[in-house]
Chains A and B, each alone.
Chain A
Amino acid sequence: MARAIEVAGLTKRYGEKVVLDGVDLDVGSGTVCALLGPNGAGKTTAVRILTTLVRPDAGRVQVAGIDVVRHPRAVRRRIGLIGQQPAVDDVLAARQNLVLFARLHHLGRRDAGVRADELLEQVGLADVGDKPVREFSGGMRRRLDIAAGLVLAPEVLFLDEPTTGLDPAGRRDVWEAVRALVAGGTSVLLTTQYLEEAEQLADDVCVLDGGRVVARGTPGELTAAIGGDRLELVVSDPGRAEEAARLAERAAASARVATATGPGERVVVPVTRRHGVVGTVVRALDEAGIAVDDVVLRPTTLDEAYLRITGRDDERTEVPA
């Protein structure tokens, strides 16, 4: 099957600063890829190059099978871009915005109107289409922004931190809109700061740090790669959290990962086996007279995997990769 995005050796410098340092990226047709990374990792620059807004210094970049440097306009006809902030006109009504963007996609006057109504329907703004955008909430604005990125039903959709600054309801709205598009065959590249978002939406995750790809795979593969599960304990006496962590570690026999965190009364211990570990740890704590309010054995979250991969966790020792 054709690739939605194919990037090889993508490099971009601003003066001395190397923003993207030989990035390779592959996004299959009809899939969702999440680009993760700390601020300044190069996510937005990558999106701006893929959407023809910025020219790369080196590397091969193809979107929908077309070279972005040689045929930017052909690429523009096949993509939708939803940037970090809603790029819609505040003064105009929602429908006027969509008609304008449809006209700029060279739809005729009548088709533009029809398309605008379809899009309003699609993102659930049909009943407020004639209201000026400045009266919209953040979530509504975002939905309109997404609609504006969908005028020609793009083959590849780019979303740069689409839910930053949205409340949970607004975030859910955006996720639903993205899922509906993917179901319709659109390929998506999204950048996000929220690991939950990547877990919810992405087939594949690509972690950028310092302009390089430091990890890639499915969310499951990334969490599996850094290993195992986590045992989470809530101890009654916060003063004994440190001691509880040490005991739990020993009892869980997670000898090769001697790490534990104990902020407040919550203790998180990495475990390398699941079987019997809860009972062993609880017994050990019970013998030491440490009261336990809650115990959960859970898989490592993508959050933890991400923090470990980018070296931004505050755990005290290294995990052998």
Chain B
Amino acid sequence: MTALHATPAEPGTVGRFRWAVADALAVAGRDVAHWRRRPAAVLVGALFPVLLLLMFTYLLGGGMVVPGGGDYRDFLVPGMLALAMVFGVEATMTAVVTDTARGITDRFRSLPMAPSAVVAGRCLADMASSVVGLVVLVVAALALGWRPDGLVPALAAVGLLLLLRLAFLWMGIYLGLLARDPSAVMAVQILVWPFAFLSNAFVAASSMPGWLATVAEWNPVAGTVTAVRELFGAPVDSGGGWATDHALLLAVAWPVLLTAVFAVLSVRRFQGLSR
């Protein structure tokens, strides 16, 4: 005990950065330890989008008309992948609000660790779990007979999907810091559904009544969905307006905008904890 009584010396700028990285990894490592202790929880989270994929393919898919003709499954897979990223907002928010409510956030804040690590660790852990979720969903889709159109475009699509996840991750962090009580997650779990349906993820926006089609096209998910469809060589909702024609631009612009907004809001909220 006496050997450890001395506090490590305060490092310089480089050392500080190394500490910040090490601290973020330590915080993220806590989530990894959670997965190992509770694999069932991870599996359920990853399998839920698979269940949706199966339901929409086999139960509803028969009645779906794909724009330009084509397999509904191929149309649906990119939509489901994007929605899986959106659903991640719930996991992030739950983790953040639970830590705050249980005093773990305050414990972190009372430690000599890098303050940024609390949030950076959350980012790392949630991005990692999203990669796992994507892999599970892709494997399920492959098992259903879905095939992507080449490896390079597929990797580009994964990049866009993870960018979308980053946006919803920051939204989750902000909402988690905003909520005082873990039960607030329920509201988000409900609201995520109209948000998901009011997009081009399940059906073509062009099949909706005029103004709804415009809303669906401008849904922050829509750009990613269309861009990923193009990259996977899946049928695309071609009858849309400007938003559909510039899907790739929106697939980058929306997540970048959302990330910027919610990152700033989150940092301010986090600093506000000491007010």
Residues of chain A touching chain B, judged by Cβ–Cβ distance below 8 Å, are 51-55, 73-74, 76-79, 81, 83-93, 96, 100-101, 103-107, 111, 114-115, 118, 122, 132, 148, 152-153
Determine whether B180 belongs to the interface, using a CB cutoff of 8 Å to chain A: no
In the bound complex, CA of A88 to CA of B113 (Å): 16
In the bound complex, CA of A90 to CA of B112 (Å): 22
> Which of B4, B27, B37 touches A111 (beta carbons < 8 Å)?
B4
In the bound complex, CA of A52 to CA of B111 (Å): 10
Interface size on B, residues (CB 8 A): 32
Q: Are A74 and B10 in contact (CB-based, < 8 A)?
A: yes
Report chain B residues within 8 Å CB of A111.
4
Q: B47 to chain A: closest CB distance in Å? A: 20
Report chain A residues within 8 Å CB of B8.
77, 105-107
Interface positions, chain B 245-275, Cβ under 8 Å from A, are 273-275
In the bound complex, CA of A93 to CA of B30 (Å): 11
Report if A104-B111 is in contact (Cβ < 8 Å); known contacts: A89-B30, A89-B104.
Answer: yes
Chain B 14-29 interface 0/1 with A at a Cβ cutoff of 8 Å (1 = within): 0000010011001101
Compute the total of residue contacts between A and B using a CB distance below 8 Å: 95
Q: Are A84 and B103 in contact (CB-based, < 8 A)?
A: yes
In the bound complex, CA of A90 to CA of B41 (Å): 14
Determine whether B181 belongs to the interface, using a CB cutoff of 8 Å to chain A: no
Q: Are A87 and B37 in contact (CB-based, < 8 A)?
A: no
Q: Are B112 and A73 in contact (CB-based, < 8 A)?
A: yes
Report chain B residues within 8 Å CB of A105.
8, 111-113
In the bound complex, CA of A223 to CA of B5 (Å): 38
Q: B105 to chain A: closest CB distance in Å? A: 9
Q: Are B274 and A53 in contact (CB-based, < 8 A)?
A: yes
Interface positions, chain B 146-195, Cβ under 8 Å from A, are none
Q: A30 to chain B: closest CB distance in Å? A: 15
Q: A161 to chain B: closest CB distance in Å? A: 12
> Which of A87, A103, A115, A132 touches B107 (beta carbons < 8 Å)?
A87
Most chain B CB within 10 A, of A52, A76, A104, A153, is at: A104
Q: Are B1 and A153 in contact (CB-based, < 8 A)?
A: yes
Nearest CB in chain A to that of B23: its residue: A104
Q: Are B275 and A106 in contact (CB-based, < 8 A)?
A: no
Extra 12 A-B pairs, beta carbons < 8 Å, given A77-B112, A86-B103: A53-B273, A79-B110, A83-B106, A91-B38, A93-B37, A100-B29, A101-B107, A101-B111, A104-B23, A104-B26, A104-B108, A152-B4
A-B contacts, 5 of them at CB < 8 A, read A83-B106, A87-B104, A111-B4, A118-B1, A152-B5
Q: B31 to chain A: closest CB distance in Å? A: 10
In the bound complex, CA of A288 to CA of B121 (Å): 77
Q: Are B1 and A91 in contact (CB-based, < 8 A)?
A: no
Report chain B residues within 8 Å CB of A107.
4, 8
Interface positions, chain B 24-52, Cβ under 8 Å from A, are 26-27, 29-30, 33-34, 37-38
Nearest CB in chain A to that of B121: its residue: A104
Report chain B residues within 8 Å CB of A118.
1, 4
Nearest CB in chain A to that of B271: its residue: A55
Q: Are A96 and B106 in contact (CB-based, < 8 A)?
A: no
Report chain A residues within 8 Å CB of B104.
87-89
Most chain B CB within 10 A, of A85, A106, A148, A152, is at: A106
Q: A61 to chain B: closest CB distance in Å? A: 13
Q: A56 to chain B: closest CB distance in Å? A: 10
Q: Are B106 and A153 in contact (CB-based, < 8 A)?
A: no
Report if A77-B7 is in contact (Cβ < 8 Å); known contacts: A83-B103, A87-B106.
Answer: yes
